[in-house]
Amino acid sequence: MPAESYVGVDVGGGGIRVRAVVDGRRLRAKDRGPVPRTAGRIDAPAVAARVGGLVAGLGEVKADRVAVGLTGMPGLLDSPAELADHLHRHIPARSVIIAGDLLTTHLGALGGRPGCVVAAGTGVIALGTDHATVWQRADGWGYLLGDEGSGAWIGRQGLRAALRGEDGRDGGSAALRRALLARFGDPDAALRAVYGTTSPAHELAAFAPDVAAAAHEGDAVARDIWRRAGTHLAEAARAAARGLPADFSWGGRLFDAGDLLLAPFREELTRRVPGARLAKPRGQAADGALLLARRGLLDGTGHLRFAREFPR
């Protein structure tokens, strides 16, 4: 009897990552590039074609189950059923699961165990779950109303400090002002870049690495921005973890900043949740998608949005 085959896919803002187990062999593939969109919505046929191309590059794959963790799910995807149908045309599979990447990030970071995971990139959201009856989220309200501690929040705080430095007001930073000038040319150009883009959150988040560089160089204002970011993330984690084991982890590219973010996050989390256990992620969202494919439907619906069975 042939071994079962599973495919897990992470479709994120920076590209697509595939993890697969095919007849006992572990395979992986990836590409780079934004999620295809049409009129601001996720382009299901184009996403499926890209995923199918990556999987085809692994050889002949007939999967028992494919699971996709998708950024912008469910808000930017018109029809999960349509995406599942298109995926099935490219990857013969017995079933297809479409889930938000928050769920697959949680599965990857904690390996399917109960607890809370904070996912931080351009935005931020925390998910606490036991994968059965408890499904709790905190933040994820977007750059205007929430996402405190996110890349967009850090970039916004950094640009505000830079402009205060330009004005000579309290709270300004000469180092961040220099970073603004180096990136944009002058304050007016920075305003045009932020206010004139179709994605202000991404434009703001693009300044976060400059805030990190200033912090590493010893700028007190920049260091305080990262300290407050870690505090906000810990606050979201505590809120999402109510009634769950005190096991925490993280995901998302913002944590590439290392101890600049992790140290204040850990310190504040320990203060807010005595006995908190903060563990390095076991895997990434693609690994979580593969785990979802191997497990199939979880006990609770939670952030699991759609599943479809196909005849073989």
Task: Report how far apart, in Å, the C-alpha atoms of 41 and of each of 73, 74, 75 are.
Answer: 11, 11, 9
105 vs 297: which has the higher pLDDT: 105
User: Is residue 13 scored above 70 in pLDDT?
Assistant: no
The segment(s) of the chain belonging to CATH 3.30.420.40 are 6-111+283-309, 115-278
DSSP 32-51: ESPPPEETTEE-HHHHHHHH
Q: In what order do the strands lie in the sheet with 277-278?
A: 135-139, 124-129, 115-120, 247-251, 277-278
User: Is residue 266 scored above 90 in pLDDT?
Assistant: yes
User: Is residue 303 scored above 80 in pLDDT?
Assistant: no
Which range of 32-41, 95-104, 208-217, 292-301 scores highest in mean pLDDT? It is: 208-217
User: Is residue 74 scored above 90 in pLDDT?
Assistant: no
Say what the pLDDT of residue 12 is: 78
Residue-wise pLDDT tens digits, 208-226: 999 999 999 999 999 999 9
pTM exceeds cut of 0.85: yes
Say what the pLDDT of residue 123 is: 87
pLDDT band of 262, cuts 50, 70, 90: very high
Question: Is CATH 3.30.930.10 correct for 115-278?
Answer: no
**Other C-beta atoms lying within 10 Å of the C-beta of residue 170:** 6
User: Is residue 1 scored above 50 in pLDDT?
Assistant: no
The amino acid sitting at 277 is R
Residue-wise pLDDT tens digits, 186-195: 999 999 999 9
**Other C-beta atoms lying within 10 Å of the C-beta of residue 213:** 14
Q: Could you name the CATH architecture of 6-111+283-309?
A: 2-Layer Sandwich (3.30)
Give the distance from CA 16 to its chain's centroid: 13
**Other C-beta atoms lying within 10 Å of the C-beta of residue 44:** 23
Q: Rounded to the nearest 5 degrees, what angle is found at the Cα of 289, between the Cα atoms of 283 and 290?
A: 85
No. of H helices and E strands in the chain? Answer: 12, 13
Residue-wise pLDDT tens digits, 108-130: 999 999 999 999 988 899 999 99
User: Is residue 39 scored above 80 in pLDDT?
Assistant: no
**pLDDT, the chain, mean:** 89
